[in-house]
Structure 1
Amino acid sequence: MANAPVLLDIGTDAYAHQMEVDEVKRRMGIHHNYFDCWIFGFLENKNFNVDEAIAKLQRRADFEREQLAAYNVTDWMMENMRKGIIQIIGNDKAGRVTLYVSTARDKPVSARREESRMNFDMFVSYGTRLRPESKRCQIAMLINQDKASMMSNLDMTFQADIALRIAKFYPGCVDKMYICKMGRLLAALAKPIFSRLPAIVSDRIIIVSDGDIRAGKLLELYDASVLPVELGGQNDCDHQDNYDRFATNIRDYFEQLKAAVLRGEGVKEWELSNLRASGYAEELSRMDALKRSIIDPSSSLRDQMLTGTHEPGGCSPLGTNGSVTVASFSPRSAARHVVDIDDDANLVTCGTDSVEMNEPQSPALLQLRNSSSAPRTPTRDLFTDYVSQFATIESFFRLSMTEMHEREWLQVVQWEVQERQRLLHDSGLIQGDKLLAGLPPSVLLVAKGFLWLCLMITSFFFFIGTCFIALLGVITLVNIFFAIFVQPYHVFLYGAAFVVVAAQFVIFCSRGFDVARNTFQGRVVQAFKAFGAKALLCQLTIYVGCTIGYFVLFCVMAARYDVLTGLQYSLAYGWIVAVCLIFVYHVVFGFGLRTVNKRSYAHGSRQNNAETTLYLFMDVEMDDEHMEDRCPPAEVMMLTMVGVVSVAMGVAYLTGGGFFFLCAAIVAQAMLLLLSTTFMTARSVSSSSDITICGVFYASMFWMDAIFTMSQNRWDGGWGNSLLTVLFIMLFFVITGMVSVYGPWKGSVRRWLFRLSWVLLLLHLIGCVAALLVFNYRFGLFVLALAVHLLLCVVRTNGASSHYGVFTMSASFTLALLACCILGHSSAVDTYSGVASDVLLPNYARRFRGSSASLSSRSQSTLSRLDALSSAPFPSSSTSSDSGSDEGIGALPPLCLTVFGPTLDLVGMALFTKLGLNEDRAAQDVDLGRWFPSFRRMAVPDVVDANVLRMDAFREETTKVNTTVVAVRPGSDLMLLIESMTMWIDTYALSFFSFLMPAIYVDLLMPYLNFVQQMLPLRWETSIDHTASVVRTLLLNLRGDREVIYLVGHGPIGSRAAVIGLQTQSNVNSVVFSGPPIVQSKYGLNITADVLARRLLSVQTMQTVFSTWYLRTASMQFVPCSLGGTICDRIDTMVQELNHLCTA
C-alpha cells in the first residue's frame, strides 16, 4: 500500500485531524495507518477528545469479546437473510459499500429482535471491513420503503434500537442512510423518532422523495449499473440467487470472524491479517522495510529495487563478473561492527576503508583464513557492495523526499481546512457584504459601521431584557418558596410548582443569553436560521428597524421633554421589545424545531435529552458509555464537602445557633444544587442525569423545608408529620434514582429501573400539579401551562438550558432569599426591652415648656397649619424652645421646621418610633412620661405577637386639636418577618432598572412583578390584612377636623404600616424612618402623587442601606449621616442625627 494518508479516503476535513488520530494510535500501540478511518469515526463521535475516543474504542473491544463472540447463526437468521431484505449491491460514487434494504420483505417479530440485532451486527461488520481498494470502513444504506406497511413491515422500536447501536458501536461507519419511497403515514411516524436519535445518526438520514428519484438525484450518487431498477437504475438485483449468495457470504465471514475473536484477535486486526496474508497489505512501511533489509537481507526490499535496474560498472572487483549476489549482503559480526541503521554516518561507502585492509596481516595467516573460510562464505565482491550501498542510500533519499513531500502536503491540506473553517465561520457572521454589494467603498465602510452599531445596541437591550427576565423569575420563585410554609404538606403542591417555574425561567434566561451573545458576536441567531438563506436579511431587518425606531423615539421625547427623558424612553422600549422577542423565541423553542435548537451534540458527546422518550417508550438498549466514570472522586468529594457544610450549618441553626448559620445553610445548599447541575450537564452522564439532578433538588427542598418549619413550628400542628412525610418521599426518590443511575445494571434491568425512576418522577409531578389545580386552580392553571411547555422542551429538544441560565437563576434566587433573610432579621433586632430615655434625649420634653402665652401662641399657629393640611405637605412653625426669633428659625433646615402637634416635632416622631419598638410595657410607660408627658396610652385591640406588625397607640388631647400617634414594631416570629420581606424585594430589585425607564413606567411595571402574589396563600398577607382591620377599628371613631392621626414606623415594617395608613381614612398621615419607597400602583392606592406627598413623609439617611438606590419619590427627605453601613439606618442614630440637625 502506498504511503498516501488513508484519511483522504474520507475527505480533507478528516485529514485535518490526523494529529488526533496519530495520538490515539500512539497510545494504543498501533504502528500503521490502516485503522485511521476507523479511529476517526470514534474521534468524531467524541468531538475529537482523545481520552473519550480511546474509552469508546475500549468499549467497542469489550463489545466484540462479550457480544460478537457469543453470536451464533441460527436457522431463522439464515432464512431471514435469504429473504433478500438486505444485500450488497456495490459501491456509490464516493466509494462506500452500499447495503440495499427492501423493507417490504421484512416481517418483524418482536420475539426475534435479538436475532435481528445479531444479523444487523453481522451485516455492518461485513460492510465496514477493510478492503484492498479502500480502508474508509464506511457504508451507505439505500432503504426502499415501497409497499412497506407500517403495521406488518416496520418495527419502530427495533429501528430506534439499531440507530442507537450505530452511535454506540459503529460511530461514523454508516455514513449515509437514503430512505426512499416512504409513505406519508410512515413518514409522520418515523420523523419524530429520527429527531430524537443522536445527531451522529439523525444528521446522516436523508429522505428521498419520489420526485427526487424521478429527477435523478440518486443517479448523482450511484452509477446506473449499481442503482437498483426500482430506484431508477439498471441493477436487476432482486433474485433469489443473490439473496442466497449474500446469506452464505455473511455466514462464512462471521464464522471466521468469531473464531478470530475467540482466539483473542480484534475484528479489525483479523481483517488486516487477512489482507496481509493475501498480499494486499504491507507488513511494514517502506522506510521500515528498507531499514530491516540492511539487517536481514533475506527479505530485503533492495533486491526488489535493484533487480533489473542497476548494472555494475567500472571498478568491479576481481572474481565477481559484475554480478550481485545475496552473499554480498551477509551480516557482519556484531562483536566487531555495530551498524546503526538510523545514522547515515555509519553506512559503508566507497570512501570507507575496509577494516580488513587496514589491519596488518601475514601471508601465512591470510592463506589459512582464506582456505578455512572458502567452504563456508563466498568471496566478497567490493564493487557489488558499493552498488548495493549506493542503492540503499538512493532508496533512503527517495523515501525521505517522499515523506517530506507528504508532510508538506499535509501542512497545505491543514491550511486549506483551516481556511475553509474560517470561511465557514465568517459565513455565520453578520458582515453585510452581499447585502451592501455595489456601494462605494467609503459608503460601504459607513454602512458596516452602522450595522455594527445596530448589533451592539441590540445586544445591550437583549442583555438588559435577560436581566429583567431573571428579576421576574426570582421574584416569582421567592413568593412560591415561602408559600410552601403556609400549611403542612404544602411543600408537595408548591414544591412541584417551584421546580416547574424554576426550570422554565432557567430555560428562559438561557434563550436570552443565547440571543444576546450571538448578537454581540455578530452571528446569526439560531432562531432566525429557520428562515434558511433569508435568515441574515430577517435578522438585520429587525435589528436595523428597532434601532431606527429607538432613535426616532429618543428624538421625539427629547424634543418634547429633555434629553435624559428621551434617553429613558428609548432605553425602556429597547429592553421591553427585547423581552418580547426572547419570549417568542422561548415559546417556539419548546416545540423542537431542529433548525432552532440544534446543539453541539452533533459533533460531540453532549447529552441528548430527546433520547429519554426512546428509552421510556421503546425497548431499546440504553447507552452505557459513562458507566465507568459516573462518580469522579474530585466531584464526589466537592459535593460531599458542600453537603456536609449545609447540613452542619442547618443543624447549628436549629439547635440555637445565630442568624449566620441560617444564611450559611442557604448558601451551601444553593451551591450544592448548582454544582450538581453543572457537573451532570458538563459530563453528560447519559440521559439519567436528569434523575440525579431531580434527586438533589428533592434533597434541597426537604432540607430547606426542615430548616424553615422546624425553627418556626417545631412538631406542632401537623408540621412534624408533614416533615416526616417529605423525608420519606425524598429518600424514596433519591434512593430509587441513585440505584437506577449508579447501580451496576445493564440490559433490561437498567432499562426498567430507568423507566421506573422517570415514571415515578413524572407521576409525582403530575399528581402535585393536579392537586394544586384542586386547591388553588388559578395558580394551578399557570403551573400546568408551564409544565406542558417544559415537557415539550425535555422530550423534543437536545438541550434547553445553558450554564449561563442555570448560574444566573441560582445566584439571583440565592441573593434574593438572603436579602429577605437579612431584611427580616434586621427588622427583628430593632425591638428591645428596657428604659431608653435615660440615655437618649432625656430632656426632650423641656423644649416645649415655656410661658402659657408662648405655648398658646404656638398651639394656635400649629392648629392653623393643621387645618390647612390639605394645602401644605406638613404644617410648620418654630420648634425652638429657647428662642422664637426669626433668626433661629431661618438657621434650621426646612425639615426641622415641620411640626405635627403642639408638643410634637420631627425629633419627637423619631422618639415615638423608638418608643414603639419597646416590647416592655412598663419601660414604655416610663419613656412615654419622660418624653411625651402630655400623651396617654390608648387601648388597642389584641394583636398576637406572631403577626408581622404589632402596634401601640398614644393620644394627646387639647382644646384645639387631638393628636393620635400609632407606633408599629415587628412581630416576634422571625420566619414570618423573613417571608414578609417579599413585599419589598421587588421594589429593591426594580430600583436597579429605574434609571433605564421613566418614573411612570416604574408604576406601570410594579404590579406585574408580583403578579404571582395574587394567586398564592401567603402567611404574611393574612397577617397584614388582620393588622389593617385592627387599625381601621381603632381609628374608626377618630374622625373630624380636630383629629390628626399619625402612623410611625421604622424600616420595611414601617413602610408597610404607612401603606395601611394611606389605605384608611383621609386624616391619617404616615411618617417612616429608613424605609423603602412606596410605589402607588403596587398597592392600588387610589391617590394622586400630590396627596401622597402630603400624607407621607419618608426620612432617610444619606448612607442608608434599606432604601433603594435609584428609586426616589417626592415623599423622601434625607438627613446627613457619615457613620456608614447599617449604623445610619438604626433608629437611635436617626434620633441623634435629627436632634443634632434640628437644634439651633
Structure 2
Amino acid sequence: MSSFLQELGPVAVSHRQEVEEVKRQLNMRREELDCWVYSFLENKKFDVEETVAKLKRRLTMEAEEMAKYEFTDYMHESLRLGIIQVIGNDKSGRTVFYVTVSRDKKEADHRDEKKRTFDLMVSYGTQLRADNKRGQMVLLVNYENASMWSNVDMSLQADVGLRLSKFFPGCVSKVYVCNMGRMLCSLAKPLFSQLPAAFSETVMFLPKSEKSALKLMEFIDEDVLPVALGGKNDCDNQAEWDRHGEVIETYFNQMREAVVDRGLTLKDWELECLELQDVEVARRFSAPSGTDSMVSLMTYGSNWSPTPLDGCLGSFTLRRDSELTPLAEDNEWCSLVKSFPTNMALFFLEELYRWRVAVAVEESAERCTLMDVYAATWKREFVEVPAIDLSNKEWYRFVPGPLRTLYHAVLVVVSIASGLSFLVALLFFLSLTSSVAVTIFLAFFVRWDYIFALFATLILVVHQGTTLCTRAVNVISVLLERKVIPPLDMLGKNRGSAAQLILFSLMVLSQLVSLGYVLTFGSFLMGLQAVFAVGWLFAVVFLLLCHVVLFLDWIPSNNQRQQDEQHSMLMLYLMLDVQESEENPDTVMGPKMPSIIVCTSLIGLTIVFGIVFVVSDTAAFAAVTCVLAVATILTVDFCSTGSLSVSNRSVLRGTVTFASLLWLFLCYSYGLLQYDNTWIVSIATIFSLNVVLVVLATMCLMKKKKSDKKLLRSMLVLFVLITCASCIASFFIVGTTVGVISLVLLVHSSLGILCVRRKSRSIGGSFFFYSAIATLAVSCIVIGFTGAKWEYSGPRSLPPQSASAPLDPLREYHRYPVCALRSSGGFGISDFALLTELVGASNESVFTQDFINWFGRTDIAFNETIDVYGAHAEHWTASRFDSVLRNMTVLTLRNTHIRSSIMTMTVWIGSIALAPLQIFLPEAWLKNIAFLISFLTRSIDFSWFSVRDAIVQYLKDVKASTSNEVVITAWGIAGGIASLVGVESQTQTITFGSPGLLHVLHFTNFSKADYHKHVLAVVSDLAVLHTMTRHDPTMFQRIQCNESAQACGGMDYISAELLTMCDVSGRRHISV
C-alpha cells in the first residue's frame, strides 16, 4: 500500500486504484507522485479520463509557460519586499507561506509578473520532499493595516484562485485569512465563494482576536507562527526577505535548466533531486534487518518450515464477510504475514477470520439491545405500580345494584377529565419553564458580564423544567395505564386508589361549581373556558406541591426499591469514592456505533450551522443552530441511557448541555453584537471554559478504572464552584430579585439531587421541555428578525399627479374605516404611514426624493433625528417632522439593530409561550397568567425599559415646548415599544404591522381604557407580528393582502395600500 496516500487519510487510500490507473496512462511509476496525482483526481470527481487530460494540460504549462518565464527586475525586487515568504512547516509537514498584504501595492501593470511569481512559489512550496509526502502548502495571510483601496487587488486574488484550481488543485491545503476588516471581509467572502471549490473550500477567515491566535496554534507551532499573529517567529526583517528571494530564484534557475535544457518534466526533476537527497537513507534501509521487525517470530516458529509464502499466499483467497472486511484490508494482512512461516501464517489468518465472524455474530445479536433496555425499563416501571381495580366488589358494596353501571361510568369520566387536566397542566409547565429559560438566555446579551451571573440560573431552570415536565408526563402515563399516580402510590393499592378518586372528584366538583358561576354572569363559551381552566390549574397546584415539597419523594415506591437505581446519589459516590456497585458490568453496554454517529453528526452540524450563521447573519441559520443545539442535548441524553455508567453518563450529559448553551452564546454574540473590548473578555472566557469542560469530560470518559473517581470528583467540584459563583454573582451584577431566585433554585435542586430517590427525569419529560424551549426560542428569533428595522435602498415614490375629485359617500363607504381618520390639522392615515416609511431610507438622496414627491406640496419639514440609547448603549432613533399650518408634530420611532428587536421580544414572551393555552383560558385570566410567567423580565434590566423611559421624557419635553398636536408612529417591533410609550406619556400613537399590548399592559401603570384611548393599530392580513398578542379590537384596522407573510408585514405594502385606498391628493407609490 502507498504510504504517501496514507498521509491524506482513508478516503484517499480507497481511491488507490484510480490513482494507479492515471499513473499508468501517463507512464508514471513512482509512489512519490501519488498525492500529487490524487489532488487532480479529487478535483475532477475521480473521473480518470478528465484527470488525465487535466494533468496533460499541467505538464504542458510547465514546459511551455513556467519554465520559460522571464525573471524581471520587478520580480527580483518583489521577492525581497516581505510580501510573501516561507516561514517553515505546519504540524502536518506542509510548507507555510506568510503573506503580509499591507506591504503589497495595487499595480495593474505588474499583475502578470505577480502571477508568475506566485506560480514559482506555489511550485516551490509543493515540491516533492522527504519530509512532505503530501506535496501541499499553507497560506497564512495577514490583512492587518491593509487598505482595500491601495493594498488589496481583488481581481488579482480571483485570478490566482482560478489559476490554483486550474493548475495546482489541492496543492494549497489551507488559506488562513487573518485580521481582515469588516468592509474588506464583506467583499472577499462572496468573491471567494464564487471561485471553484478546490480553492474556496480551503479559505478560513479568522478575525483579529485572541481566539484567532489559539485557532492558528492548533495547526501551526508557536515557533513557526509569526509574532504578528501571536507566535514567536520573528521573520519580518530584511535578512529573512533576502534569503527567501534567493531561495526562489535558485529554484527557478535550476528548474528551468532541468526542463528546458535537459527535457525533464518538473516532477521528474523533483524526483531526481529527492533521490540525491535521500541516497544515504536509501542505502541504510535498502536491506531490511530481522531485528527491525516489530514482532520477531523466527525463534517461536522454528518448528515450522521457513519456506516463504510467495507461492501459497499468491493464490490464497481469504474468506471474509464482504460487508465487514474490504479487499484492501485483506491485502494488508496478507502482506503482513508474508514473511512468516507458511503454517504459522495460515494459522494467523484463520484465527483472524474466526475472530471477525465472532464479532459479527455478537453485533447482530446485540443490535437492538439499547431499545430492549428502554422497553424493559418502561415495563418494569408500570407493572409494579398499584392499579385501580374497578371490578373489585368492595367499591360497590354501598352502591345499589341498578346504579353500579352509572357509578362505573362516572369513574371513567372522572379519570378522562383528570387526564385532560394534567395534559393541559403539562402545556402550562412547558410555557412557564420555556419562557423563563429563553428570557434568561436573551438576558446574556444585555451586558457583557450578565452571562457569568445568569448562566447557573439557566442551568438550574433547565433542571427544574425537565423535572416538572417529567412529573406531568409520568402522571399522564400512569393514568393511561389506570394506575395510582405518584406520590399517592406510596399509600398502597387500596388507600392510594381511594385518595386518587377523592382528589379527582374534588377537582370535577370544583369545575362544575365554576361552570354554574360563570354561566350566571357570562356566556356558555366562557363557562367552558372556566371549566378547563379550573381543571388544569388544579392539576398544576397538585404537581407544584409535589415538586416543591420534596419529602413526598423521599419514600421510594415498591418498584423503585426493587430496582435499586439511586441515580440521585451520584455525588455521594464521587465524594466518598465508593464503587458504584449497583451497576452490573455485564449489563452496562458501550456506546453503539449508530448512537455515536448520530450524536457526533448533530454536534458537527451544530458547529457548522453556527459558523454559517456568524458568516451570513440570517434568521434561518440562527433558528437552525438553536434547534440543532437543543436536539444535540436531547439526543445525547437519550443515547447515553443504558450505554454508559451513571457517573460517565452524568458527566457526558452535563458537559454537552454546558457546551451547547455556551456555543449558542458564542454564535449569537458574533452574529448579532457590535463588540468593544469588554465583550471580548466574556467571549474569550466562555470559549476557554468550554474547552476545559470538553477536555475534562473526554478524560473522564476515557478512564479505564471504574474505581478511580479523582477526575470525576474534580469535574463535580468544578461544576459546583461554577454554579455557586454564578449564583452569588447574580446578586451584585443583575439584582437582588434574580439573586434570590437563583439561590432558591440552587438550594431546591441540591436537595432534590441529594435526597429524592424517585426518578426525577425521563426521556419523555426532557423531550417535551427541550422542544418547548426550541420552539419558543426560534419564534423569538424569527419574529425578531421579521420585525427588525425597516430599510430600503431605492426610491419608493413616483412623481405626483393631479389631485383626484373627492369620492362620493357611497364609494367612501367601501374604503377602510381608518381612511376617515383626520387630525385637527387635516393629517390623514396615509400621511402617517408615508412618514413612517420615509425614515427607512438608507441614504439622504433617497430620503430627499421620496420626501419631495410625497410631501413637497405641504409645509411638512423634517426637523431632526434623535439618537436614543438604552441603559447599555443600545441604539434607537426617533425622527421628528413638524407642520406649522397643520399644527402637527410627528415622531417616528425606529430601532437600528436586529439584536434590539430580538431582545425586545421579552415584552411578549409570556403571551407567545401561552399561545397553546389561549383556547383554555378566559380573556381576563390570560392577561394575569401572562403577567405571572413574565416575572423574570421585570427583574432584568433589558434595554427597552430605558429606551421607553427616554422617549417618554423626550415627548414630555416636546409637549412643553410646542403647541402642536404630537403623534408618535412606528413599524414592527418598534411599534410595540411606541405603544408602551404612547400609553405612558398619554400621547396619540399609530403603529403599523406591530404586535399589540392587550396582554402585556402589566409593563405599564395604565389600564385597557388608556390603551383604547391612545393607541391605533394598522396591520395587514397574513402578517406575523400582530398575531402573537391581541390588539384592542375597537382600535384595530386590518387591511387586505394576498402576498407572502413577509411582504404583507412590510411597511412599503401597508403604506402603498393605504395610499391607494385613502389618498386623493395624487401621490403615488412604486409598489402600486
Q: Fold match, TM over 0.5?
A: yes
User: Which one of 1002, 1012, 1028 corresponds to residue 1093 of structure 1?
Assistant: 1012
Match of 1:781 in 2: 740
User: Which one of 1062, 1069, 1077 corresponds to residue 988 of structure 2?
Assistant: 1069
User: Which one of 510, 521, 531 corresponds to residue 570 of structure 1?
Assistant: 531
Q: From the superposition, tell whether residues 582 and 890 of structure 1 become closer, same or farther in structure 2 (CA, over 3 Å).
A: same
CA contact (8 A) 2:425 2:472 kept: yes
Pair 1:1127-2:1051 in alignment: no
Distance 2:758 2:935 in 1: 32
* Partner AA of 2:917 in structure 1: F
* Partner AA of 2:864 in structure 1: A
User: 1:831 is paired with a residue of what secondary structure?
Assistant: coil
CA contact (8 A) 1:968 1:1047 kept: yes
User: 1:1097 is paired with a residue of what secondary structure?
Assistant: strand
Q: From the superposition, tell whether residues 612 and 918 of structure 1 become closer, same or farther in structure 2 (CA, over 3 Å).
A: same
Q: How does 1:596-745 map to 2 (within 5 A)?
A: 602-603=562-563, 608-617=567-576, 619-620=578-579, 625=584, 629-656=589-616, 658-683=618-643, 685-713=645-673, 716-745=676-705
Q: From the superposition, tell whether residues 614 and 704 of structure 1 become closer, same or farther in structure 2 (CA, over 3 Å).
A: same
Pair 1:505-2:465 in alignment: yes
Pair 1:445-2:405 in alignment: yes
Match of 1:830 in 2: 790
CA contact (8 A) 2:882 2:888 kept: yes
Match of 1:799 in 2: 759
CA contact (8 A) 2:515 2:530 kept: yes
Match of 2:549 in 1: 588
Between 663-672 and 512-521, the greater mean CA deviation after superposition: 512-521
User: Which one of 477, 482, 485 corresponds to residue 437 of structure 2?
Assistant: 477
Match of 1:923 in 2: 846
Distance 1:614 1:709 in 2: 38
CA contact (8 A) 2:874 2:943 kept: no
User: Which one of 897, 900, 903 corresponds to residue 823 of structure 2?
Assistant: 900
* Partner AA of 2:867 in structure 1: D
- 1:1125 Cα shift? 2.6
Match of 2:1024 in 1: 1105
Pair 1:949-2:907 in alignment: no
Q: How does 1:515-526 map to 2 (within 5 A)?
A: 515-526=475-486
Q: How does 1:836-985 map to 2 (within 5 A)?
A: 836-838=796-798, 842-843=799-800, 847=803, 882-883=805-806, 885-932=808-855, 933-943=858-868, 947=874, 949-958=876-885, 962-971=887-896, 973-985=897-909
CA contact (8 A) 2:470 2:762 kept: yes
- 1:469 Cα shift? 1.3
* Partner AA of 1:1132 in structure 2: D
- 1:583 Cα shift? 0.4
Q: From the superposition, tell whether residues 626 and 488 of structure 1 become closer, same or farther in structure 2 (CA, over 3 Å).
A: farther
Q: How does 1:285-296 map to 2 (within 5 A)?
A: none
* Partner AA of 2:537 in structure 1: I
CA contact (8 A) 1:917 1:968 kept: no
User: 2:908 is paired with a residue of what secondary structure?
Assistant: helix
CA contact (8 A) 1:609 1:687 kept: no
Match of 1:261 in 2: none
CA contact (8 A) 1:430 1:522 kept: no
CA contact (8 A) 2:641 2:649 kept: yes
- 1:498 Cα shift? 0.6
Between 1019-1028 and 535-544, the greater mean CA deviation after superposition: 1019-1028
| Deviations 1:181-207 (CA, angstroms, capped at 9, x unpaired) | xxxxxxxxxxxxxxxxxxxxxxxxxxx
Q: How does 1:974-1123 map to 2 (within 5 A)?
A: 974-1038=898-962, 1043-1064=964-985, 1066=986, 1068-1079=987-998, 1082-1108=1001-1027, 1111-1114=1030-1033, 1115-1123=1035-1043
User: 2:880 is paired with a residue of what secondary structure?
Assistant: strand
Q: How does 1:191-340 map to 2 (within 5 A)?
A: none
CA contact (8 A) 1:601 1:798 kept: no
- 1:520 Cα shift? 4.1
CA contact (8 A) 1:954 1:966 kept: yes
Match of 1:253 in 2: none
Q: For structure 2, list consecutive stretches of 5 or more residues without a partner in the other structure.
A: 1-379, 1065-1072
Distance 1:921 1:909 in 2: 20
CA contact (8 A) 1:459 1:517 kept: no
Distance 2:951 2:903 in 1: 16
Pair 1:808-2:768 in alignment: yes
Distance 1:433 1:1111 in 2: 54
Q: From the superposition, tell whether residues 1045 and 592 of structure 1 become closer, same or farther in structure 2 (CA, over 3 Å).
A: same
CA contact (8 A) 1:915 1:924 kept: yes
- 1:1141 Cα shift? 4.2
Bigger Cα Rg: 1
- 1:920 Cα shift? 2.5
User: 2:646 is paired with a residue of what secondary structure?
Assistant: coil
Match of 1:558 in 2: 519
* Partner AA of 2:980 in structure 1: V
- 1:1075 Cα shift? 1.6
Match of 1:862 in 2: none
CA contact (8 A) 2:789 2:895 kept: no
Distance 1:967 1:1110 in 2: 22
Distance 2:732 2:1028 in 1: 42
The alignment's TM-score, normalised by the length of structure 1, stands at 0.56
CA contact (8 A) 2:968 2:982 kept: yes
* Partner AA of 1:947 in structure 2: E
Distance 1:770 1:812 in 2: 29
Pair 1:770-2:741 in alignment: no
Distance 2:994 2:573 in 1: 56
Q: From the superposition, tell whether residues 696 and 1142 of structure 1 become closer, same or farther in structure 2 (CA, over 3 Å).
A: same
* Partner AA of 2:837 in structure 1: K
Distance 2:562 2:1042 in 1: 60
* Partner AA of 2:506 in structure 1: G
Aligned pair count reads 676
| Deviations 1:504-553 (CA, angstroms, capped at 9, x unpaired) | 11101111222233234432111112333422122111211211221121
CA contact (8 A) 2:869 2:876 kept: no
The alignment's TM-score, normalised by the length of structure 2, stands at 0.59
User: 2:837 is paired with a residue of what secondary structure?
Assistant: helix
Distance 1:473 1:771 in 2: 22
Q: From the superposition, tell whether residues 502 and 432 of structure 1 become closer, same or farther in structure 2 (CA, over 3 Å).
A: farther
- 1:1132 Cα shift? 2.1
CA contact (8 A) 1:695 1:734 kept: yes
Distance 2:830 2:391 in 1: 65
| Deviations 1:446-477 (CA, angstroms, capped at 9, x unpaired) | 11111111111121111111111111111111
Q: From the superposition, tell whether residues 1081 and 816 of structure 1 become closer, same or farther in structure 2 (CA, over 3 Å).
A: closer
* Partner AA of 1:1058 in structure 2: S
Distance 2:667 2:396 in 1: 63
| Deviations 1:1055-1093 (CA, angstroms, capped at 9, x unpaired) | 2112112111x3x21111222221265344444434422
Distance 2:813 2:853 in 1: 29
User: 1:900 is paired with a residue of what secondary structure?
Assistant: coil
